[in-house]
Chain A
Amino acid sequence: MKVALFVPCYVDQLYPQVARATLAVLEARGLTVAFPMEQTCCGQPMANAGCETDARATEERFVRTFAEYDAIVAPSGSCVHHVRHHFDQLPQTDAVRSVRARTHELCEFLLTLPDVAPPPFPFRVGVHVGCHALRGLRQGSPSELGPPQDGPMQQLLRRMPGIQLVPLDRADECCGFGGSFAVDEAAISARMGSDRVADHRRHGAEVLVSADMSCLMHLEGIIRRQATPLPVMHVAQLLNGERP
Chain B
Amino acid sequence: MSSTTHARAAEAFSADAVRAAWHDQALWFVRAKRDQVTHAIPEWEALRTLASGIKAHTLSRLDTYLEEFERNAKANGVTVHWAANAAEHNRIVYDILAAHQAGTLVKSKSMLTEECQLNSYLEAQGIMIVDSDLGERIIQLGGETPSHIVMPAIHKRKAEVGALFAEHFGTSPDEDDPATLADAARGPLRAALFGADAALTGVNFAIAETGALVVCTNEGNADLGAHLAPLHIASMGIEKLIPRVADLGVFLRLLARSATGQPITAYTSHFVKPRPGASLHVVIVDNGRSEHLGRPDFREALACIRCGACLNTCPIYRRSGGHSYDATIPGPIGAILSPGIDLARHASLPFASTLCGSCGDVCPVKIDIPQQLYRWRQLVARGGHLGAPKRRRMRWLGGVLGSRRWYEFAGWMGRALLRVSAHAPWLVRRTAWGRERELPMAPRESFRDWYKRNRAA
Contact = CB atoms under 8 A, between A and B. Distances in A.
Nearest to A85: B371
B184 interface: no
Contacts of B156: none
Contacts of A227: none
Interface residues of B, number: 78
Given A144-B35, A190-B435, A50 B354 contact: no
B436 interface: yes
Contacts of B452: 37
Contact of A20 (B4, B357, B361, B447): B447
Given A48-B374, A225-B438, A35 B451 contact: yes
Interface string B435-456: 1111110110111111110011
28 contacts: A7-B448, A13-B411, A16-B445, A17-B443, A20-B450, A35-B451, A35-B455, A37-B452, A46-B394, A46-B398, A46-B401, A49-B377, A51-B381, A54-B399, A58-B401, A61-B402, A131-B357, A135-B361, A182-B433, A186-B11, A186-B435, A187-B7, A187-B10, A188-B11, A188-B14, A190-B436, A217-B440, A221-B438
A52 B122 CA distance: 46
Contacts of A56: 398, 402
A202 interface: no
Interface of A: 7, 9, 11-17, 19-20, 35, 37-41, 43, 45-58, 60-61, 86, 131-132, 134-136, 142-147, 170, 173-174, 176-195, 217-218, 220-222, 224-225
Nearest to A141: B361
Contacts of A182: 432-433
Contacts, number: 222
Interface of B: 3-4, 6-7, 10-11, 14-15, 17, 20, 24, 28, 35, 39, 45, 313, 315-316, 319-320, 350-358, 360-362, 370, 374, 377-382, 386, 390-391, 394-395, 397-399, 401-404, 407, 411, 414-415, 418, 431-433, 435-440, 442-443, 445-452, 455-456
A187 B316 CA distance: 10
B361 A37 contact: no
A126 to B, nearest CB: 17
A20 B454 CA distance: 11
Contact of B386 (A16, A50, A52, A192): A50
A192 B350 CA distance: 18
Contacts of A181: 351, 353-354
B220 to A, nearest CB: 30
